[in-house]
Amino acid sequence: RVTSRLRTELGHELPVRALFETPTIAQLATTLGTSAAVDTTAVRRAERPAAVPLSYAQERLWFLDRMDPDGNAYTVPVALHLFGALDPAALEQALHQLAARHEILRTRFAEGADSAPAQVIEPTGSLPLVQVDAGDWDDVDLVAALHQEASRPFDLAHGPLARAHLFRLDPQQHVLLLSMHHIVTDGWSYRIVARELDELYAALRERQPSRLTEPALQYADYAIWERSWLQGELVEGQAAYWREQLAGLEPLDLPTDRPRPAVRSSRGATHTLNLPDTLTTALHKLGQDHGVTTFMTLMATYQILLRTYTGHHDIAVGTPVANRNRSETEDLIGFFVNTLVLRADLTGNPTLREVLNRTRDTALNAYAHQDLPFERLVSELAPQRDLSRTPLFQTMLTVHGSTTDISHCWQLAGLDVQTLPLDDTVAKFDLTVSATEAGPELTIDFTYSTDLFDASTIERLATHFQHLLTAVTTEPDTRLDDLDLLSPDERRRILHEWNDTTAPYPHDRTVHQLVEQQARLRPEAIALVQGERRFSYRELNERANQLAHRLRESGVHPDTTVGICAERSPELVIGLLAVLKAGAAYLPLDPTHPTERLTHLLTSTDTAVVLHHPHQTGLAASLGGTLLALDDPTTAGHPTTDPDPVAHPGSLAFVLHTSGSTGTPKGVQITHRNVLRLTHNTRITDTTPDDVFLHLNSIAFDASSYEIWTPLTTGATLAIAAPGRTTTETATHDIHTHRPTVLLLTTALFHTLVEESSQALAGVRHVLTGGEALSATHVRTFLELHPGSAVVNVYGPTESTTMATCFTCRPGSWEGPVPIGRPIDNTRIHLLDPAGRPVPIGVTGELYLGGDGLARGYHHQPALTADRFVPDPFTPGARLYRTGDLARYRPDGTLDFLGRTDDQVKIRGHRIEPGEIDARLLEHPAVTASTTVVREDTPGDKRLVAYLTTNSTNPPSTSEL
Ligand code: AMP
Ligand code: MG
């Protein structure tokens, strides 16, 4: 409104920047009838009430101060280095007169009878100057003393709320420290203090009366007037505006380095960014061309940065306004600042230019509704106090122009005055960005909560901010999705250095060739052991050869699948090896799984032949297909020699099924090369023929491919756990019997073993565990008990052959949650945003995997394969697997796992898409809707729970479902 009225009144375009920085804007606004003047006469005539109320701004601070654990979060200090011959007596007297002129410097805040605070103004009172002789101090002493004094708490109820200290360094050098509680001051007030102190000091030195006139109003008058003014329509109108503006606002979740504490503290630190002159000049030019202020440009850029960091498109940032838009309040010392919330809608992939325009409109509208005190907004929109975050917005941006930056306003007659930087370690918000314009220079301070962030994280954020500012000035027509935040150095590190995992492995061999090689090299070494049963490499190889010849006879040929339905046993492993030797791929059929599922796996993969263990004959028969018993006596009549090789490294080795959201399991096709990239991977473990692995997992799990083929292709021993379902008890027993040195446990089993039977893991050199988020507490407990062992957190989906990254936990090797580490050998990872661009360090992205572990695809599901295995934009001709997992980089390149983009869950190692269960439930004629979730009502006890609606008065029973 002001802008358009000015346009018509003045007849020309006034740059918006000028508009908001013109000191007389208050008068202009008053003339134009857009802002109320403080009715001085009315206020003066009114008797002061017995209890002077607090202004709304003060009231908010009074409440905040009560919640501040350290009691010093709201101290506003300034330190001045005074060069020249100071007259301390005159300075003391000047401070005294200053306090005499301004009641607010003699005010304290007492709690009244109804527990509402009131302003208590002492009739007389001073701002005493404490003088300290610092003649023999060094710089460190001085800085410490300033810091200590500046962070000393104030007592709002008893006062004083303003303090002055004078440190005398030598006759020609003093440091004056002024500190006030924010409830009696603000940045603008300090300019008044500076002006009047200078005037009073000069007059006192010259023994002249000062030229200052008696203030017409005091802060208390303003507070009383504000209460009567902020009522009715005015408040209603502005409240309605803000209600609509801020409807449905969610807290901004910046990615933090540490978990957010339940109660936020104000411990903070500051990182400073000095923008190069070229950029500052470009920013000013941009402002002129687009009619935007520096504030608006910085705000728009900051909101874009936050969009990148959070992935959200709805970004609210707070900003203070001086709230001095009435001429009557211009000369008052006191706390006037109000806070506005600027909310950006960054949906629709706009260009930078469009965002600037949107921000300008939002800012102008916010200014037009700036009278409503922030506290009234909070009590209306966020009445539930959440002590872990600040209400309505969690990050702030402010710009000090040359006129509002108080560090340049100080002078004292006859002295040279320089402001000394004080460590601004108070973080009122998660992150506050404050820019200071001094002439052509633009300095940006990033003050952050040290509860949440590391210094390096904020440094990086500042670099990204500068990067974005450059983009805004040089390529304003870029769309947000096309923005690139990474510096060339960061890009090189992320894309190349951290993916430099190429290492030799037998990529030109097949799995069975390597077993055959071991059989030749060390025929009598133990390959398999289960209980009392033992098989040397020679026996393993010969038995598998006989079966392989037999399979070939039955018409098994490359790229077909052979079902194998057997309990954990040496026969099972011999069977798997035989299928590979025959040139085919195995399809594991876990006999404990439902028959219906097993039948589906067979038919959907066109599997004609099923190998089975004698115990599973009945089951196997019910599945259909040609049956072949693993211990069929006629097999012994076949040659024991290695069959002619027909499979090659790219041939299928096996097909593993995982849950599919449409109700159909997905068959993941793994090749020989895929397997060897896993088994010969020194980043996971270094294995020797002396190692003993334990086969513990179901062969339907991808974990089994690691635990079976790693020992057998490297000449170590494979111990086989007892058949049946693996529980804490059976695992404890098997580990006790076989004393493995390497073990791969599902995360759930690792957790329960540590809780219930940690001694069982004694002597296991490498405990590999994966499948779900690993608990740091459990790992620590384990390492304390077994200091010689390592826990390796292994991460990876079946589609990239069991493992893609790993992290080795040793005492002190990590902080916070257990990372999933770095890519293993011959594996590349990319963290991409939804537009497919690499995200910076510290920012959440979706994990994409590349390299030699990538499965061929999903069996018979080309559309699904194309959807999940996408072209690699960084390596021509290569593919990436889109995992649906979320992660982010730590500064050293290790990855933190952060959950899923979809609702896929893990329960006791089973990967489940709830949609698969819903799809099955919906097949029941009575079920009309279903939704499946995981509940963990008792910690550690995850359960799948389906909620459904039926169309029948006679709902189906649970067992029927
Ligand atoms: P699966 O294909 O059954 O091995 O399941 C792979 C999925 O399990 C991954 O996509 C992740 O969601 C999850 N996962 C595997 N390992 C880990 C791990 N170490 N930490 C957290 N989640 C994991
Ligand atoms: Mg797995």
The closest of 900, 920, 919 to 911, measured between CA atoms, is 900
Q: Which residue minimizes the CA distance to atom 8 of ligand 1? A: 771
- Nearest listed ligand to the Cα of residue 794: 1
DSSP string, 171-198: TTEEEEEEEEEGGG--HHHHHHHHHHHH
Indicate if the pLDDT at residue 41 is higher than 80. no
Q: What's the rounded mean pLDDT across residues 193-199?
A: 95
- Nearest listed ligand to the Cα of residue 658: 1
Task: Output the CA 806–ligand 2 centroid distance in Å.
Answer: 12
CA 824 to chain centre: 24
pLDDT reported for residue 38: 63
Indicate if the pLDDT at residue 11 is higher than 50. no
**Mutation test of ligand 1: which of 750, 799, 881, 897 has the most ligand atoms closer than 8 Å to its C-beta?**
897
pLDDT reported for residue 405: 59
**Mutation test of ligand 1: which of 701, 745, 772, 910 has the most ligand atoms closer than 8 Å to its C-beta?**
772
Judge contact between 584 and 551, C-beta under 8 A.
yes
Counting atoms of ligand 1 from 1, which one is nearest the CA of 911? 3
Location of structure tokens 């996408």: 870
Q: Crossing angle for the helix pair 294-310 and 277-290, nearest 10 degrees?
A: 110
Q: Which residue minimizes the CA distance to atom 6 of ligand 1? A: 797
pLDDT reported for residue 45: 55
Q: Using CA atoms, how far apart are residues 703 and 684, in angstroms rounded to an integer?
A: 13
pLDDT reported for residue 837: 92
Q: What's the rounded mean pLDDT across residues 695-708?
A: 95
Indicate if the pLDDT at residue 514 is higher than 70. yes
pLDDT reported for residue 44: 61
Task: Output the CA 875–ligand 1 centroid distance in Å.
Answer: 25
Q: Which domains does the chain have, with CATH numbers?
A: 2-41+226-406+426-483 (3.30.559.30), 45-221 (3.30.559.10), 486-510+673-899 (3.40.50.12780), 513-647 (3.40.50.980), 913-950 (3.30.300.30)
Alpha-carbon torsion, ordered 158, 164, 169, 172, to 10 deg: -160
pLDDT reported for residue 6: 52
The closest of 533, 534, 516, 699 to 616, measured between CA atoms, is 699
pLDDT reported for residue 589: 93
Higher pLDDT, 37 or 941: 941
Indicate if the pLDDT at residue 360 is higher than 50. yes
Q: Using CA atoms, how far apart are residues 542 and 548, in angstroms rounded to an integer?
A: 10
Cβ-based neighbours of 783, under 8 Å, separated by 6 or more: 789, 791, 809, 810, 811
- Nearest listed ligand to the Cα of residue 884: 1
Kindly indicate the confidence band of residue 42, based on its pLDDT and cuts at 50, 70 and 90.
Answer: low
The 3-state secondary structure of 818-866, one letter per residue: CCCEEECCCEEEEEECCCCCECCCCCCEEEEEEECCCCCEECCCHHHHH
Task: Output the CA 702–ligand 2 centroid distance in Å.
Answer: 5
Q: What's the rounded mean pLDDT across residues 827-837?
A: 95
Higher pLDDT, 517 or 371: 517
pLDDT reported for residue 46: 60
Task: Output the CA 226–ligand 2 centroid distance in Å.
Answer: 65
Counting atoms of ligand 1 from 1, which one is nearest the CA of 668? 2
583-629 tens-digit pLDDT: 999 999 998 888 888 999 999 999 989 999 878 777 878 887 788 99
Task: Output the CA 572–ligand 2 centroid distance in Å.
Answer: 20
Indicate if the pLDDT at residue 29 is higher than 60. no
Q: Using CA atoms, how far apart are residues 535 and 709, in angstroms rounded to an integer?
A: 15
Indicate if the pLDDT at residue 95 is higher than 60. yes
Q: Which residue minimizes the CA distance to atom 3 of ligand 1? A: 911
Kindly indicate the confidence band of residue 14, based on its pLDDT and cuts at 50, 70 and 90.
Answer: very low
- Nearest listed ligand to the Cα of residue 772: 1
Task: Output the CA 824–ligand 2 centroid distance in Å.
Answer: 15
Question: What percent of the chain lies above the pLDDT cut of 70?
Answer: 94
Q: Which residue minimizes the CA distance to atom 12 of ligand 1? A: 885
Q: Using CA atoms, how far apart are residues 198 and 95, in angstroms rounded to an integer?
A: 10
Q: Where are the beta strands (DSSP E) in 86-210?
A: 107-111, 117-121, 129-133, 162-170, 173-181
Indicate if the pLDDT at residue 710 is higher than 60. yes
**Mutation test of ligand 1: which of 659, 902, 906 has the most ligand atoms closer than 8 Å to its C-beta?**
906
Counting atoms of ligand 1 from 1, which one is nearest the CA of 820? 19
Q: Write out the two tokens for 368.
A: 């037009």
Q: Using CA atoms, how far apart are residues 342 and 319, in angstroms rounded to an integer?
A: 7
Judge contact between 792 and 806, C-beta under 8 A.
yes
Counting atoms of ligand 1 from 1, which one is nearest the CA of 904? 12
Task: Output the CA 656–ligand 1 centroid distance in Å.
Answer: 15
Q: 60-76 burial, b if ≥16 CB within 10 A, otherwise e?
A: bbbebbeebeeebbbbb
The closest of 321, 277, 317, 324 to 301, measured between CA atoms, is 317
Judge contact between 933 and 943, C-beta under 8 A.
no
Kindly indicate the confidence band of residue 33, based on its pLDDT and cuts at 50, 70 and 90.
Answer: very low
**Mutation test of ligand 1: which of 805, 885, 901 has the most ligand atoms closer than 8 Å to its C-beta?**
885
Task: Output the CA 750–ligand 1 centroid distance in Å.
Answer: 14
**Mutation test of ligand 1: which of 911, 916, 942 has the most ligand atoms closer than 8 Å to its C-beta?**
911
Judge contact between 172 and 92, C-beta under 8 A.
no
Query: Picking from 94-98, 119-123, 688-692, which range would have the lowest pLDDT averaged per residue?
Result: 119-123
Q: Write out the two tokens for 767.
A: 């405990």
Alpha-carbon torsion, ordered 941, 944, 945, 950, to 10 deg: -160
Judge contact between 28 and 325, C-beta under 8 A.
no
Kindly indicate the confidence band of residue 227, based on its pLDDT and cuts at 50, 70 and 90.
Answer: confident
Q: Using CA atoms, how far apart are residues 353 and 286, in angstroms rounded to an integer?
A: 10
Indicate if the pLDDT at residue 402 is higher than 60. no
Q: Write out the two tokens for 918.
A: 């819903």
Q: ∠ CA 518-523-529 to the nearest 5 degrees?
A: 90
Counting atoms of ligand 1 from 1, which one is nearest the CA of 798? 2
pLDDT reported for residue 663: 74
Mean pLDDT of the chain: 90
Task: Output the CA 911–ligand 2 centroid distance in Å.
Answer: 8
Judge contact between 833 and 845, C-beta under 8 A.
yes
Give just the sign of the alpha carbon dihedral 781, 786, 790, 792.
Answer: negative
Judge contact between 356 and 297, C-beta under 8 A.
yes
Question: What percent of the chain lies above the pLDDT cut of 90?
Answer: 67
- Which amino acid, 646? V
Q: What's the rounded mean pLDDT across residues 714-718?
A: 98
Indicate if the pLDDT at residue 19 is higher than 60. no
Q: Using CA atoms, how far apart are residues 161 and 117, in angstroms rounded to an integer?
A: 15
pLDDT reported for residue 183: 96
| Residue 451: DSSP 8-state | T
The 3-state secondary structure of 602-662, one letter per residue: HHHCCCCEEEECHHHHHHHHHHCCEEEECCCHHHHHCCCCCCCCCCCCCCEEEEEEECCCC
The closest of 439, 410, 524 to 175, measured between CA atoms, is 410
Q: Crossing angle for the helix pair 455-474 and 294-310, nearest 10 degrees?
A: 120
Residue 660: CA atoms inside 13 Å, Cβ hemisphere, count? 18
By residue count, the chain amounts to: 961
Q: Ligand 1 — pocket residues by CB below 6 A?
A: 658, 702, 770-774, 793-795, 797-798, 820, 883, 885, 897, 906, 911
Location of structure tokens 């106090």: 385
Q: Using CA atoms, how far apart are residues 911 and 163, in angstroms rounded to an integer?
A: 64
Question: What element of type H or E holds 694?
Answer: strand 692-695
Q: Which residue minimizes the CA distance to atom 9 of ligand 1? A: 797
pLDDT reported for residue 31: 43
Judge contact between 312 and 297, C-beta under 8 A.
no
Cβ-based neighbours of 513, under 8 Å, separated by 6 or more: 645
Task: Output the CA 658–ligand 2 centroid distance in Å.
Answer: 10
- Which amino acid, 859? H
Q: What's the rounded mean pLDDT across residues 49-74?
A: 84
Q: Which residue minimizes the CA distance to atom 5 of ligand 1? A: 797
Indicate if the pLDDT at residue 194 is higher than 50. yes
Higher pLDDT, 526 or 634: 526
Task: Output the CA 818–ligand 1 centroid distance in Å.
Answer: 14
Indicate if the pLDDT at residue 833 is higher than 70. yes
Q: Which residue minimizes the CA distance to atom 15 of ligand 1? A: 771
Judge contact between 643 and 577, C-beta under 8 A.
no
Q: Using CA atoms, how far apart are residues 591 and 617, in angstroms rounded to an integer?
A: 10
Counting atoms of ligand 1 from 1, which one is nearest the CA of 702? 4
Counting atoms of ligand 1 from 1, which one is nearest the CA of 897? 21
Counting atoms of ligand 1 from 1, which one is nearest the CA of 910? 3
Judge contact between 541 and 695, C-beta under 8 A.
no
pLDDT reported for residue 98: 96
pLDDT reported for residue 387: 79
Task: Output the CA 745–ligand 1 centroid distance in Å.
Answer: 13
Task: Output the CA 940–ligand 2 centroid distance in Å.
Answer: 19
**Mutation test of ligand 1: which of 795, 848, 895 has the most ligand atoms closer than 8 Å to its C-beta?**
795
pLDDT reported for residue 407: 66
* Cis amide prior to 88 (ω within 30 degrees): no
pLDDT reported for residue 668: 97
Task: Output the CA 822–ligand 2 centroid distance in Å.
Answer: 16
Higher pLDDT, 386 or 236: 236
CA 277 to chain centre: 33
Q: Using CA atoms, how far apart are residues 228 and 53, in angstroms rounded to an integer?
A: 11
Q: Which residues pair with 342 in a beta bridge?
A: 317
pLDDT reported for residue 15: 43
Q: Using CA atoms, how far apart are residues 686 and 766, in angstroms rounded to an integer?
A: 10
745-772 tens-digit pLDDT: 999 999 999 999 888 999 899 999 999 9
Q: What's the rounded mean pLDDT across residues 554-580?
A: 93
Task: Output the CA 826–ligand 1 centroid distance in Å.
Answer: 19
DSSP string, 727-757: -HHHHHHHHHHH--SEEEEEHHHHHHHHHHH
Judge contact between 446 and 425, C-beta under 8 A.
no
Indicate if the pLDDT at residue 300 is higher than 90. yes
- Nearest listed ligand to the Cα of residue 773: 1
